[in-house]
C-alpha cells in the first residue's frame, strides 16, 4: 500500500520505518527536518507539506501531540486532499470528544476513519511490538487492521469511534497509579533494610506482582532491562504520562467517575514535571519518593 505518515517524533519515526519494512511505500511528513532526514534514511519518501504527502495514497496514519493539532491537520490538510477511498488512522492519544468529532467529519466527507492510540513506548514503536486500541466501525477496523499489524503485536477493536481513546486513557491512568505504588514500595523496602533484588524476587512471585514491577522495574539493575538502567532516559516520558493522566481526569469529570488514585497520581506527576523532570521516563518518579 501507499501510506502517508504524519508525525515522525519518538513514536512515529519507528512506526513509519516498520511500515516500510513490511513492504509499504511510505510518504512521510513532519515539521522537523531532522525527523524527515531519519525517515528518509529508513526508506520513506519525504514531503514538505501534509497535502503533498497524502496525495494519491491508500491510507493516512497520524501520530501527533494533541487533539487540537489532530483536528487542524485532518480538517485543513487531509480531508478533501487524500483520495476519498483512503482509510484514515489516527494513532495519537487525544481526548475522546475530539476523536469522535474528527471521525464524524471524516465520515461525512466520505472516508473510513479509526482512532488507534498505542501502548508500548519508544522501544515497542521501534521493534513493531505496540498494542493498538481501536475505535471505529467494523468495516473501518477491517481496513485498518493490516496496517496496524505491521507496527504492533496486538490490534484490539475496543468499540465505536472514540473507544480506542477511552481504553488508552483508562489503561494509562492504571499504569500511572501502579507505577507510583511500585516506586513507593521499593523506596520503603530499601529504608526497611531489604535487599531490593531479594524483594523483587519475592514480590514478583507474590500477590504484589504487577507490570510496572516485572516488566518495567523502576530500580536500576533489578528485573528486565528498563529505562532505570539508562538513568531513566528513553521509554515513556513523564510529560507524556502527565498528558494522559490529565486526559483521564477530563474524561472522569465528563462522566462523573470517582478516581481518587488517578487524581493523586496526576498530582504527583504534576509536581515531578514542574521540578524539571518531564523529559525523564515516568518510572523516574521513584527519585522523588526516595527523597
Closest-CA residue to 46 (of 26, 66, 61)? 26
Q: Among 40, 68, 168, 243, which one carries the catalytic annotation? A: 168
Q: Which H, E and C letters describe 175-238, residue by residue?
A: HHHHHHHHHHHHHHHHHCCCCHHHHHHHHCCCCCCCHHHHCCCCCCCCCCCCHHHHCCCCCCEH
168 is catalytic: yes
Distance separating alpha carbons of residues 268 and 243, to the nearest angstrom: 13
Rounded to an integer, what distance in angstroms lies between the CA atom of residue 235 and that of residue 194?
27
- Best CA proximity match to 113, nearest among 156, 144, 73: 144
What single DSSP character describes residue 143?
A: H
Using alpha carbons, list the distances in angstroms from residue 83 to 92, 109, 130, 135, 146: 22, 11, 28, 22, 19
Decide: 121 and 152 in contact? Cβ < 8 Å.
no
- Name the grid cell of 153: 503485536
Q: For residue 172, give the nearest of 37, 282, 15 by alpha carbon.
A: 282
Please list the active-site residues: 168
Amino acid at each position: 500500500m501507499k501510506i502517508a505518515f504524519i508525525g515522525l517524533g519518538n513514536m512515529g519515526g519507528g512506526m513509519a520505518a516498520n511500515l516500510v519494512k513490511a513492504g509499504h511505500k511510505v510518504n512521510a511528513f513532519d515539521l522537523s527536518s531532522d525527523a524527515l532526514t531519519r525517515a528518509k534514511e529508513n526508506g520513506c519518501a519525504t514531503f514538505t507539506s501534509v497535502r503533498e504527502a497524502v496525495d494519491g495514497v491508500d491510507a493516512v496514519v497520524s501520530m501527533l501531540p494533541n487533539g487540537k493539532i489532530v483536528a487542524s491537520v485532518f480538517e485543513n490538510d487531509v480531508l478533501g486532499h487524500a483520495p476519498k477511498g483512503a482509510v484514515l488512522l489516527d494513532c495519537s492519544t487525544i481526548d475522546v470528544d475530539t476523536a469522535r468529532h474528527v471521525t464524524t467529519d471524516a465520515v461525512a466527507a466520505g472516508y473510513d476513519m479509526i482512532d488507534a492510540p498505542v501502548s508500548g513506548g519508544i522501544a515497542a514503536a521501534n521493534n513493531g511490538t505496540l498494542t493498538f486500541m481501536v475505535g471505529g466501525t467494523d468495516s473501518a477496523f477491517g481496513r485498518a487492521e493490516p496496517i496496524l499489524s505491521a507496527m504492533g503485536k496486538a490490534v484490539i477493536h475496543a468499540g465505536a469511534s472514540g473507544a480506542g481513546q477511552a481504553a488508552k486513557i483508562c489503561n494509562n491512568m492504571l499504569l500511572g497509579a501502579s507505577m507510583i505504588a511500585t516506586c513507593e514500595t521499593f523506596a520503603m523496602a530499601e529504608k526497611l533494610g531489604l535487599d531490593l533484588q531479594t524483594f523483587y524476587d519475592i514480590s514478583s512471585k507474590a500477590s504484589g506482582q504487577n507490570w510496572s514491577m516485572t516488566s518495567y522495574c523502576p530500580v536500576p539493575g533489578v528485573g528486565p532491562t528498563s529505562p532505570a538502567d539508562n538513568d531513566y532516559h528513553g521509554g515513556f516520558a513523564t510529560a507524556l504520562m502527565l498528558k494522559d493522566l490529565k486526559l483521564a481526569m477530563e474524561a472522569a469529570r465528563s462522566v462523573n467517575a470517582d478516581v481518587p488514585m488517578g487524581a493523586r497520581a496526576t498530582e504527583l506527576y504534576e509536581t515531578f514535571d514542574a521540578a524539571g523532570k518531564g523529559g525523564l521516563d515516568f518510572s523516574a518518579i521513584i527519585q522523588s519518593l526516595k527523597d
